[in-house]
Amino acid sequence: MEFQFLRKDKAYTYLDMHAASFEEEKAQLQAQGWELAEVIEAVSKKAAIEQYQSSNTNFAARAAAVGAAIGFFGS
């Protein structure tokens, strides 16, 4: 299964890329300000959500660490 994740501010949602309504739903969400995020291939919706949350939590933690290091060394 493939899922297209979208994000807006700190929220996220996802669409099944093989659903008949995928393109229409994606266009509607983008018109509402949602941005395309990762495409995740997983065996289930739950697995896709866990993978998305894990990758985005790790990214946020790395970004915060880099920001702290830049602030520390840049002073």
Q: Would you state the pLDDT for residue 65? A: 52
User: Where do the domains of the chain lie?
Assistant: 2-74
Is the confidence at residue 62, as pLDDT, over 80? no
Q: Would you state the pLDDT for residue 10? A: 84
- Residue 75: pLDDT band by 50, 70, 90 thresholds? very low
Q: Would you state the pLDDT for residue 31? A: 98
Is the confidence at residue 64, as pLDDT, over 60? no
Contact 38, 5 (CB under 8 A): yes
Contact 28, 43 (CB under 8 A): no
